Amino acid sequence: MMTITTTKIVKEKDFHNEVFGGNNDAREKANEKYYSITQAIINYYSDLLLAHCANKDVLEYGCGLSSYSYFLVRNGAASAKGIDISDVAIQQANARAREEGLQDKMDFLVMDAENLEFANDTFDLICGNGIIHHLDLHKAYRELSRTIKPDGTVVFSEPLGHNPLINLFRKLTPGIRTEDEHPLLMKDIELAKTYFDSVELKYFYLATLALSPFRKFPAFSSLVKFADRFDNMLFRALPFIRKHAWMAVIVLKKPKL
């Protein structure tokens, strides 16, 4: 088990232990409002993982209580390991694996994502949802490139950091996130090319963001689907606007290490 050493890691651990321990009201209220529009990225991310998990060894970064490790094992993954800085989350995830009879295929470990305790070329698929923007990206990309197999795939769903309105919201709600979070900038995406020959992004949510106040309207889901299509048209027609999206799915292949 890892030894907690740096101030940053201690703060991240304490914050997420509190969240996973149940003190999460402010975060849940914010998520209810703004994450009401996010079904498209959830579907896209899930479909990508399904396309790459069959008979594969998977690592889930920042697994938390681990919705995706269970999902992948139940849909054909040979094995799944999950890592998280929160020992509370890891205890709960391992307990659930035992309760569901999946402990032979699953293992959850307290581990620093910037210093993985796995050998080179261990995993066929590495994935994570909203995790690498918490990390030192040089260290994280290096570890991802080192531990993914040469023909493996890395998939992350992450927030971006260029939209001024979203950044204003982040500034006004500091209590629902850690102070070391840094939503990804284009320079952070470019940095991935130091460690991977293939870096692809799919962008989500620009005009769609305006719909969150209407989440209780009967036609809300139809409006969101229309706005998603409109955003896709914008991102295709105006590539320079992509960086102002709220989120992106990042796919990394062909590791250089």
Question: Is 241 a member of any domain?
Answer: yes
Q: Which CATH number goes with the domain that contains 169?
A: 3.40.50.150
Question: Is 94 a member of any domain?
Answer: yes
Q: Which of 131, 80, 135, 134 is nearest to 108 (CA)?
A: 80
Q: Residue for token digits 């998520």?
A: 31
What's the CA gap between 149 and 15, in Å, rounded? Answer: 32
Q: How confident is the model at residue 126, as a pLDDT?
A: 98
Question: Is 153 a member of any domain?
Answer: yes
Question: Is 140 a member of any domain?
Answer: yes
Q: Domain tally for the chain?
A: 1
What's the CA gap between 13 and 110, in Å, rounded? Answer: 10
Structure tokens at 71: 């999902």
Question: Is 130 a member of any domain?
Answer: yes
What's the CA gap between 150 and 205, in Å, rounded? Answer: 32
- What pTM does this model have? 0.86
Per-residue pLDDT averaged across 131-153, rounded?
A: 97
Q: Which residue range(s) make up the domain with 87?
A: 7-255
Question: Is 246 a member of any domain?
Answer: yes
83-116: per-residue pLDDT in tens?
999 999 999 999 999 999 999 999 999 999 999 9
Question: Is 2 a member of any domain?
Answer: no
What's the CA gap between 118 and 113, in Å, rounded? Answer: 11
197-241: per-residue pLDDT in tens?
999 999 999 999 888 888 888 898 899 999 999 999 999 999 999
Question: Is 1 a member of any domain?
Answer: no
